[in-house]
Amino acid sequence: MKIKKRTKPDWLKIDISSNQYVKKMRKILKDNDLHTVCEEAKCPNRGECWRNSEATVMILGDKCSRNCRFCAVETGPDREIDLDEPEHVANAIKRIGLDYCVITSVTRDDLPDGGCKIWAETITKIREYNPDCKVEVLIPDFQGKKEDLDRVFAAQPHVVGHNLETVPQLYPKARPQANYQQSLEVIQYAHNQGQITKSGIMVGLGETNQQVVDLMQDAFDAGCELFTIGQYLQPTQQHLPVDRYVTPDEFKYFEKEGRKIGFKNVMSGPLVRSSYKAKEMYKAALE
């Protein structure tokens, strides 16, 4: 039986096709052979963020070794690692003129070190070429390998993010190759190593509001300080369908509950994504 596609509510409708900043950023990225999660994951905020010269650069290629059923990033064998990528990223950030950048990556379970060497070198190069630029990282789980995490942390990012993505009850259908407890342990390990920690989820996949609150409590108990919540949007017909569109009032409820739990900052809204207003969240963590 064909599943009827849900109609997007007005609060989710955004048109960025003619945004001049989108065109400018795409040119800079193309010139440096780089990818952004803004484009690959079809982020609805890329027009707003690029207008403010903010972007989330995706390293280690544009194909993921995992096949999460919510994610727009392609799955499959990727090209060889570009050893010059750290320098390309640092140069692009300098050209854009960022004072705060977010770096993320596809998951590379196919690599012996999960790509942590490139991760560390990218952070180091950014700091070298852009000494006034703060560096936030949104990392994969590195299969829980502490030696790989240590290598990333040693490069001294300013914020370490690792997304839980969805409630544990939905992991079997949404993240079959990931492990909820392992992701909590990654957050906890980062916190124990003195990192400012951040995580986020999508809603609208079939979770209950209480499950969202329970997850936030789990994240906080693991040492997470900053938290984001946004609406899941189905990238293609091959991905999980939207179970429901969460209302703006419900997002306000999640934010209120998150602040009650004790997070230093919570961003919760239909169009919120992991890196949305990242600099603002970082500042809140320092207060």
The tens digit of pLDDT for each residue in 185-199 reads: 999 999 999 999 999
pTM above 0.85, yes or no: yes
Query: Is a pLDDT exceeding 80 seen at residue 255?
Result: yes
pLDDT for the residue 3? 46
pLDDT for the residue 235? 78
Give residue limits of the domains in the chain: 18-286
Q: What is the pLDDT averaged over residues 28-47?
A: 60
pLDDT for the residue 18? 47
Exposure letters 195-226 (e unless 16+ CB within 10 A, then b): bbbbbbbbbbbbbeeebbbebbebbbebbbbb
Nearest to 157, CA basis, from 182, 125, 115: 125
Question: Which range among 70-74, 124-128, 269-273 shows the weakest confidence by mean pLDDT?
Answer: 70-74
Question: Which range among 50-54, 138-142, 160-164, 267-271 shows the weakest confidence by mean pLDDT?
Answer: 50-54
Q: In the CATH hierarchy, which top-level class contains the domain 18-286?
A: alpha beta
pLDDT for the residue 34? 64
pLDDT for the residue 5? 58
Q: Between residues 32 and 3, which one has the greater pLDDT? A: 32
User: Is the separation of the CB atoms in 222 and 178 below 8 Å?
Assistant: no
**How many CA atoms lie less than 13 Å away from 145 in the CB half-sphere?**
14
Residue 239 pLDDT class (50, 70, 90 cuts): confident
Contacts of 260 (CB under 8 A, 6+ apart): none
Query: Is a pLDDT exceeding 60 seen at residue 38?
Result: no
Q: Between residues 10 and 164, which one has the greater pLDDT? A: 164
Question: Which range among 33-42, 73-82, 113-122, 253-262 shows the weakest confidence by mean pLDDT?
Answer: 33-42
C-alpha distances out from residue 15 to 44, 52, 150, 181, 242, Å: 9, 17, 41, 38, 20
Residue 275 pLDDT class (50, 70, 90 cuts): confident
Residue 1 pLDDT class (50, 70, 90 cuts): very low
C-alpha distances out from residue 39 to 8, 20, 22, 88, 144, Å: 20, 15, 10, 18, 28
